[in-house]
Amino acid sequence: MDINLICSNKVSEKILKLIKNTDIVIEKDASIILVEQGYDMPKGKISIVFEAIDYLEAVEIILKEKKNSSLITGYALDRYTLMDVKDVLYLEVYGTELRCRTIDQMYNLKRTLSYYEQKYKSRGIVRINKSQLVNMLAVKEIVPWFNSRLVLVLENGRELEVSRHYTKVLKELLEL
Amino acid sequence: MFKKINIRNCLLSACIGLIIGILSIYSADSLTFKQGIESLLRSGSLGLLIGTVVEAITALLPISIAKPKSYFFINNLLAVFVTFLVVLITSSFYQVDFSDYKYQRFLILILLIVFIVNILEYYYYIRTNKKLDRFKRSIENRNRDEY
* B14-24 per-position pLDDT tens digit: 898 888 788 77
With 70 as the cut, is the pLDDT of residue B97 above it? no
Q: Cβ of A141 and B68 within 8 Å?
A: yes
Nearest CA in chain A to B141: A123
Residue B141 has pLDDT above 60, yes or no: yes
Letter for the amino acid at B111? Answer: L
pLDDT at B118 over 90: no
pLDDT of A122 above 60: yes
> Of B59, B139, B147, which is closest to A124 when you measure between CB atoms?
B139
Condensed to tens digits (0 to 9), the pLDDT of residues B47-93 reads 888 889 888 888 888 988 988 899 999 988 888 887 777 777 766 76
Contact A22, B146 (CB under 8 A): yes
Report the C-alpha gap between A36 and A44 in whole angstroms. Answer: 17
**Test mutation, B118, B127, B134, B135, chain A, max A CBs within 10 A:** B135
Query: For A148, which residue in chain B has the nearest alpha carbon?
Result: B6
What are the Cα distances from residue B43, in Å, to A91, B14, B23? 46, 8, 10
**Strands A46-50 and A32-36, bridge-based pairing:** parallel
Contacts of A161 in chain B (CB under 8 A): 63
Minimum Cα–Cα distance from B7: chain A residue: A147
Task: Using the predicted structure, report yes or no on whether residue B144 has a pLDDT greater than 80.
Answer: no
pLDDT interval class at B27 (50, 70, 90)? low
Cα→Cα distances A158→A41, A94, A114, A139, Å: 50, 16, 22, 10
**pLDDT reported for residue A77:** 87
Strand partners, A34: A5, A48
Average pLDDT score, chain A: 89
Q: What average pLDDT score do residues B28-57 get? A: 83
Contact B136/A136, CB-based, under 8 Å?
yes
State the average pLDDT over residues A37-43. Answer: 90
Q: How confident is residue A163, by pLDDT bands cut at 50, 70 and 90?
A: very high
Distance set, CA A60 to CA A67, A90, B50, B60, B125 (Å): 10, 31, 63, 54, 44
Q: Read off the pLDDT band of B28 (50, 70, 90).
A: low
Q: How much is the CA Rg of chain A, to the nearest whole Å? A: 20
Instruction: Report d(CA B42, CA B14) in Å as an integer.
Output: 10
Residues A133-137: what's their mean pLDDT? 96
Q: Is the pLDDT of residue B147 over 60?
A: no
Of A136, A146, A150, the CB nearest to B135: A136
Cβ contact, residue pair B71, A143, below 8 Å: yes
Model confidence at A152: pLDDT above 90:
yes
Name the pLDDT band for A37 (thresholds 50, 70, 90).
very high
Q: Which of A123, A141, A147 sits opposite B55 (nearest CB)?
A: A147
- Overall pTM surpassing 0.90 (yes/no): no
